[in-house]
Structure 1
Amino acid sequence: MHWTPTIWTAGWRDRAPCAGHDAPLSAGRSRRRDLPAALIFQAPFCMSYVFIGMTILLTAYGQLVLKWQVGVHGHLLASPIQPLNLLQLLLKPWVISAFVAAFGASLCWMAALSRMPLSRAYPYMAINFFIVALFAAVLFREQLDAYKIAGTLIIMLGVVVLSRSVA
């Protein structure tokens, strides 16, 4: 079987599965629309991976922004924590953007899970370890020693192994 340049439009329950992009959809409930080959990808592509990627990026963004804002406004969290100070921190625009990113990541994650089994999707979330560790070292001068690098590589290897599993 080889993939042909068509786009299937259907409800999420009728879509072609990720592993078999050219699998037929259920009859009667979906439409097929042919497009010029120049307008679409020539290789199998699955939206679930786009949603997983967006989840990873939004999650990493939120973590890095929260770390940055707590570093800048750490005095608001001095012991004992005062409710008014905490509210001031929570209402900072960058902190709000981190929470919006977390909400967006949750929406993307739900979209990914509607298209892919959890056991296949969840290993990709380990990529966050790599992204956050790398950017924390660059942006916040956090130490990235041999143990963190080795641990991150082991996690990434685990992602590769788990992603090869047929789910």
Structure 2
Amino acid sequence: MKYIPFILFTVFTNAAAQLMLKYGMMTMGPLTFAGVNPVIKILQIVFSPWIFAGLCVFVISMASHLFVLSKVELSFAYPFLSLAYVAVAILAYLLWCEDLNAYRIAGIALICAGTVLIAHSGRKAEETSMAAKAIETERSIIR
């Protein structure tokens, strides 16, 4: 449970990156490759300020996720990333008036409920891990 703040940092930087990427693409206008070298167009997209910032924040999010994966089980950490869907849906609604209908709200509620269940499962795993370490320490002292 002590790694939850790092997991949440990963979630929120992931959500922030997605929002920056969306805003960057909105500022670019309609995406067309007609009469333009595709490589040049891709470079224009990647190096537009909001897209570039979003990609950088996404790299930070991935670095944070790698740190988390070095500390906790994947089956515990990975489902938390679904909270980014929740944050993105709510912020997209607030920022750009994107649709947030009853089905999406129900899906968000299910995601939150699932994440709470997974978070509680981590307590038992952490307690078991701590107990195993204590037993191993006792064995090494006895020897």
Q: 1:72 aligns with which of 20, 23, 27?
A: 27
What is the Cα deviation at residue 138 of structure 1?
1.0
1:66 & 1:58 partners in 2: Cα distance? Answer: 12
What do the CA deviations read for 1:84-128 (whole angstroms, capped 9, x no partner)?
222111111221111111111111011111111111111211111
1:107 & 1:127 partners in 2: Cα distance? Answer: 18
The residue that corresponds to 1:28 in the other structure is none
Whether 1:148 aligns to 2:111 is no
What is the Cα deviation at residue 79 of structure 1?
4.8
Whether 1:89 aligns to 2:65 is no
Q: Pairwise CA RMSD of aligned residues? A: 1.5
Q: Which runs of 5+ in 2 are unaligned?
A: 126-143
* Contact kept? 2:10, 2:65, Cα under 8 Å: yes
Structure with the bigger percentage of strand: 1
- State the TM-score, normalized to the length of structure 2: 0.78
Q: Which has the higher contact order (CA 8 A, sep 6+)?
A: 2
* Contact kept? 2:33, 2:41, Cα under 8 Å: no
* Contact kept? 1:123, 1:163, Cα under 8 Å: no
Whether 1:128 aligns to 2:87 is no
Q: Which runs of 5+ in 1 are unaligned?
A: 1-17, 19-45
Aligned to 1:144, what secondary structure does the other structure show?
coil
What do the CA deviations read for 1:22-78 (whole angstroms, capped 9, x no partner)?
xxxxxxxxxxxxxxxxxxxxxxxx2x2222111111100110011111111033x22
Q: Percent of aligned pairs with the same residue? A: 31
Corresponding letter in the other structure for 1:135: L
2:80 & 2:119 partners in 1: Cα distance? Answer: 8
Corresponding letter in the other structure for 1:163: A
1:71 & 1:99 partners in 2: Cα distance? Answer: 15
Q: After superposing the two structures, state which structure 1 stretch, 63-72 or 83-92, moved more.
A: 83-92
Corresponding letter in the other structure for 1:100: C
Map 1:1-167 → 2, pairs under 5 A: 18=1, 46=2, 48-75=3-30, 77-80=31-34, 82-165=38-121, 166-167=124-125
Paired residues, what number? 121
1:89 & 1:141 partners in 2: Cα distance? Answer: 24
